[in-house]
């Protein structure tokens, strides 16, 4: 089977667990990952999931090695966050390239191997796909789009009995958060500082609220991926940790849901600041 984003976090944990269960794993990585060196039944496959030509070459390499695949796990992802007013266009495009378009590229290229191996597609999503979080609009939107694509693909591939599965992990303790924070700081530093200052109270509230939240371990998410791989008839969705509870918020009336989210993240009651020198409406 193939799993992308295998160099760390959920991906690395899933690779180890799948290999321990006796599966041959092609570990998709952007660059060689020393942490995976020497693992039995694990072969690193360096390629950029956002480059369709590189994805096609990776599929050719796997096709030369095996007759078919049991699963393709689209796990590679990143998080872009911050005020939408200040988002660099390049960051926004990259968010969708990695989280939304790349799973399509990978699935397109590897579907012949899945047909031959009677396999399944497993896409790793997030609770924010169902319940968007303020200042996390890009990740929320990219995962919502992935969920829509997955639902459509499920029916498209039904004729070949290829299941399409979504795994929705709770927030996990992985290096992605440190990378996200560093990227957000760089974007804010490069933004118009007068406009960025308007969001200072909001970002402080968000930071305090998220710091108080306990991140879960990666192992439950890896076990959910394993269950989706090995189940004779996999479920459409596998929720991990609090993901199911968070998804239920999407069923609330819009106003109530937005008030609850604002309260949770300390955004209720923040003053509506206007830019200095504003003369009001014209």
- Residue 8: strand, helix, or coil: coil
Provide the pLDDT for residue 161.
Answer: 97
**Arithmetic mean of pLDDT over the chain:** 89
Domain locations along the chain: 2-264
Is 50 exceeded by the pLDDT of residue 277? no
Q: Return the H-helix or E-strand segment holding 164.
A: strand 164-168
- Residue 165: strand, helix, or coil: strand
Whole-number Cα distances in Å, 192 to 80, 90, 195: 18, 16, 6
For residue 41, what are its two tokens?
């039944």
Provide the pLDDT for residue 173.
Answer: 65
- Residue 211: strand, helix, or coil: helix
Residue pLDDT, tens place only, 30-82: 999 998 999 999 999 999 999 999 999 999 999 999 999 999 999 999 999 89
Report H helices in the chain.
Answer: 9-20, 52-65, 89-96, 102-117, 137-156, 176-190, 193-198, 200-212, 219-230, 243-248, 254-264
- Residue 43: strand, helix, or coil: strand
- Cα torsion 17, 18, 21, 26: sign: negative
Classify domain 2-264 by CATH number: 3.40.50.720
Residue pLDDT, tens place only, 227-256: 999 999 999 999 998 777 777 888 889 899
């Amino acid at each position: 089977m193939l799993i992308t984003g295998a160099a760390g976090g959920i991906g690395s944990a899933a690779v180890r667990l799948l290999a321990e269960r006796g599966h041959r794993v092609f570990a998709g990585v952007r660059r060689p990952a020393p942490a995976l060196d020497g693992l039995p039944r694990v072969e690193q496959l360096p390629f950029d999931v956002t480059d369709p030509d590189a994805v096609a070459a990776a599929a050719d390499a796997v096709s030369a090695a095996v007759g078919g695949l049991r699963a393709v796990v689209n796990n590679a992802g990143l998080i872009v966050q911050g005020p939408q007013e200040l988002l660099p266009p390049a960051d926004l495009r990259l968010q969708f390239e990695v989280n939304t378009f790349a799973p399509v590229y990978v699935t397109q290229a590897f579907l012949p191997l899945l047909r031959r191996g009677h396999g399944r597609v497993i896409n790793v999503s997030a609770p924010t796909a169902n319940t968007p979080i303020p200042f996390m609009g890009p990740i929320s939107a990219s995962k919502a789009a992935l969920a829509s694509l997955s639902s459509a693909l499920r029916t498209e591939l039904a004729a070949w009995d290829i299941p399409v599965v979504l795994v929705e992990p709770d927030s996990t303790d992985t290096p992605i958060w440190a990378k996200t924070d560093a990227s957000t700081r760089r974007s804010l530093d490069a933004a118009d500082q007068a406009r960025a200052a308007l969001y200072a109270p909001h970002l402080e509230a968000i930071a305090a609220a998220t710091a108080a939240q306990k991140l879960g371990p990666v192992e439950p998410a890896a076990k959910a991926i394993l269950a989706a791989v090995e189940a004779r008839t996999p479920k459409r969705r596998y929720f991990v940790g609090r993901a199911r509870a968070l998804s239920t918020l999407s069923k609330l009336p819009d106003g109530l849901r937005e008030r609850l989210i604002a309260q949770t993240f300390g955004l209720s009651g923040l003053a509506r600041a206007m830019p200095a020198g504003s003369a009001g409406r014209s």
